[in-house]
Amino acid sequence: MGRTYQLFLDSDRVYTCSTCYAHLASYGDVISRGFHGRQGPAYLFDKVVNVSYGRKEHRPLMTGLHTVVDIHCGICQVNVGWKYIKAYEHSQKYKEGRFVLEKHRIVKETQWKD
């Protein structure tokens, strides 16, 4: 296995992995805080960093059938959510290529700037 490189976001507010505190997303990349994950509230993001991807699968979700891949923290490998690959209902197409991070798997941190 190769060396893992961690990206640190240059933002004053970031969401980190609740296990290892690796940066996952910038506060400004939240699209919606009204999503539901497998175990409760979740957020929809435009982009995330420091993640690895699982296998593509068709998953029936609350809003219909979607093709998704699970995403894991790239540092500690904890499942943190999923990425929408394809939405089959026209009204759900805005989710394609976007990410859901489960709230219980992330921590919002404020970075101190000099």
- Which CATH number is 87's domain given? 2.170.150.20
Q: Is residue 72 part of a domain?
A: yes
State how many domains the chain has. Answer: 1
Q: What is the pLDDT of residues 15-72, one digit of tens each?
A: 999 999 999 999 999 999 999 999 999 999 999 999 999 999 999 999 999 999 999 9
Q: Could you say which DSSP state residue 5 is in?
A: -
pLDDT score at 114: 60
pLDDT score at 4: 75
Rounded Cα–Cα distance for residues 110 and 20 (Å): 16
Rounded Cα–Cα distance for residues 94 and 44 (Å): 11
Q: Is residue 3 part of a domain?
A: no
Q: What is the pLDDT of residues 76-104, one digit of tens each?
A: 999 999 999 999 999 999 999 999 999 99
Q: Is residue 6 part of a domain?
A: no
pLDDT score at 53: 98
Residue type, 103: K
Q: Is residue 60 part of a domain?
A: yes
pLDDT score at 110: 87
Domain around 60: 13-110
